[in-house]
Amino acid sequence: MIEGYGNLVIEHFKNPKNMGEIKNPDAVGELGNPTCGDIMKVFLKVEKNKLGEDIIKDIKFQTMGCVAAIATSSMTTELVKGKTLKEAKKITNMDVARSLGKLPPIKMHCSNMAADALHQAIDNYEAKNK
């Protein structure tokens, strides 16, 4: 085990879910952290459900960064896939961190980036589709 990280963090780092790129995405969110050098990109494919709500049909991410950056990106995609945009907007950095379990305090900024990149992608989608 990598010192300071919980088993779920390590699992999402070693076997990230939804890693990759969506060709012709409906929206993209991208963030970088100049302090640590992490870069995250979130791709969304959005579809209307039977109620006319926008749902996240598919979500992928590309992250260049540390263990925590990759794990939080992976967990964020798992938390929101299939949810409405309204539900996904409610996901916070603390939700991501709690879902992963043990994340070193010094790495909490990574969960901020993952949630923020998601929110940016949703904002970009909503701005394009007003």
Among candidate residues 28, 36, 39, 108, the one labeled active-site is 36
- For this structure, is 110 an active site residue? yes
The CB density around residue 118, as the number of other CB atoms within 10 Å, is 27
Contacts of 40 (CB under 8 A, 6+ apart): 30, 31, 32, 61, 62, 63, 65, 69, 73, 113, 114, 117
Q: Are 18 and 59 in contact (CB under 8 A)?
A: yes
- Identity (one letter) of the amino acid at 50? K
Among candidate residues 27, 79, 103, 110, the one labeled active-site is 110
Structure tokens at 77: 């995609």
Q: Active-site residues: which are they?
A: 36, 110
